[in-house]
Structure 1
């Protein structure tokens, strides 16, 4: 038995070494990039807290309001997302990239190293965004902690860790730049929503934010689709493009269904929002940070928020 355990351990080490053998050495100096252990521990801790420990801790407690914390959090992510988009643009997308088949620049040029840095920064922003779910738990918004929400928040940083370890840049970084662009708008909306009822008049464009998210998935999938129609492309990690294409297509289908149910059929909107949205005068309550609109704590629509982001 001991011998078998030793053999299994040896095979596990061999697999581990094989997986990291092709890692980009330039990314190794950044925090949490030396191996997947720390990253995986953070995500497992996140899952344990939001699915078990957090709900048990809050079971007999009143929900926290956290209004000021959420305002700071959301507008900080707006600023971070602006920085990430700018850095992606300056790292190749407005200079050397063709927007078609763009391989990873593995050199130590200033532009290539800048791309490595912003690729890591985008990944780290996904770790920060785990706070989304922590706010839900602490505010006892249990309807918002859906399978899709948890899956996205845990799966995205886990897969992107491997993505930037092997390919920090190239055409695989397009979807990160587009995603950060959408997050500028999205977190700006949530920041205003967290600020209170006096900002309600500025939140009429929730429906159009969903349209922007749908556009994001179309752009990401179309960009990745180019690879399948090129005679040749020297992008080094096609598997990443396959995953991006599947991810974009999967979420396009989910968000399209949400759009139809919420804005065409009105099935997922509270009755008062259905009536107002038909007149084009109201925003569907997102549930993430709306607390006290119209002077009361309105019940959020849990079904809507599970489609909030990608």
Structure 2
């Protein structure tokens, strides 16, 4: 065997490299959260993601020649439950960060097992798990034949949030991440109140004039997250730059997509009515 052949035989194969990366992913997470549901490995979440995409593709086809399913009671219970869960997470993010004297400008992750550090880690997990629960939003649209709601924005947002927050809980359960969860939980309290009222029936439409302002609130949260993350990215702060870069890129993508939705849903219609 010549020297070149010997070197090639020593180099790991593509499969071996993937195994090395996967092992690194498993072993370099936050040891406090590794034993929690859907955290240690990305494989179970990836299976959920693939099933979700399959349902998004197959569901409308199966419902094409069927009547919309009446799930009014389920929707009311689901949306009210999500209001309660979002309110609980908002309270926990606020209380945990306040009691631990979190800094808005620079907050490293506390990887200790102190009561406050674990409280923050737990609410981060609940926030992550809530994003898995929220995949149900799409199933309800399909069952009700609201296919106009199955936009790229909707599917993209739901798919990416579960992976973003899996990484958050796996590696940085706390620190700078808290502000995203805090703001988004508040927005979701308002959003699911809207959905809960809408689920009560057409007679509630006259009370739902504020949908445009809900979209504005969603956009505002992305601008706040963008500014907060950008400041932290260029500051001398002991929080992973890689995570800040991912969050910044993701927030900018949502600003672009939600701005496009806002323009088409409200500004274009207003121009046409004039």
| Cα separation, 2, equivalents of 1:262 and 1:62 | 27
| Cα separation, 1, equivalents of 2:233 and 2:143 | 45
Q: Following superposition of structure 1 onto structure 2, how do residues 1-310 of structure 1 map, counting pairs within 5 Å?
A: 7-52=13-58, 54-93=59-98, 95-230=100-235, 232-235=236-239, 237-266=240-269, 274=273
State how many pairs are aligned. 264
Q: Report if the CA contact (8 A) 1:46-1:130 is conserved.
A: yes
Provide the TM-score with structure 1 as the length reference. 0.80
Match of 2:5 in 1: none
| Cα separation, 2, equivalents of 1:107 and 1:34 | 18
Provide, for residues 264-287 of structure 1, a one-character-per-residue CA deviation record: whole Å limited to 9, x for no partner: 33269xx8xx58xxxxxxxxxxxx
Q: Moved runs in structure 1, 4+ residues, more than 6 A?
A: none
| Cα separation, 2, equivalents of 1:217 and 1:203 | 23
| Cα separation, 1, equivalents of 2:23 and 2:100 | 36
Between stretches 57-66 and 31-40, larger displacement belongs to 57-66
| Cα separation, 1, equivalents of 2:242 and 2:160 | 16
Provide, for residues 35-89 of structure 1, a one-character-per-residue CA deviation record: whole Å limited to 9, x for no partner: 111111111111111112x223323321102111111111110100001111111
Match of 1:294 in 2: none
Between stretches 158-167 and 221-230, larger displacement belongs to 221-230
| Cα separation, 2, equivalents of 1:184 and 1:29 | 29
Q: Report if the CA contact (8 A) 1:261-1:267 is conserved.
A: no
Distance verdict in 2 for CA 1:94–1:212, change over 3 Å? farther
SS in 2 for 1:204: coil
- CA apart distance, 1:247: 1.7
RMSD of equivalent CA atoms: 2.0
| Cα separation, 2, equivalents of 1:266 and 1:101 | 42
Match of 1:306 in 2: none
Between stretches 167-176 and 112-121, larger displacement belongs to 167-176
Provide, for residues 149-174 of structure 1, a one-character-per-residue CA deviation record: whole Å limited to 9, x for no partner: 11111111012111210000000231
Distance verdict in 2 for CA 1:148–1:258, change over 3 Å? closer
| Cα separation, 2, equivalents of 1:56 and 1:258 | 25
Provide the TM-score with structure 2 as the length reference. 0.89
Between stretches 213-222 and 118-127, larger displacement belongs to 213-222
- CA apart distance, 1:191: 0.5
- CA apart distance, 1:93: 4.1
| Cα separation, 1, equivalents of 2:30 and 2:255 | 31
Match of 1:299 in 2: none
Gaps of 5+ in 1: 276-310
Q: Report if the CA contact (8 A) 2:97-2:178 is conserved.
A: no
Gaps of 5+ in 2: 1-8
SS in 2 for 1:12: helix
| Cα separation, 2, equivalents of 1:182 and 1:51 | 29
More helix, by proportion: 2
Match of 1:283 in 2: none
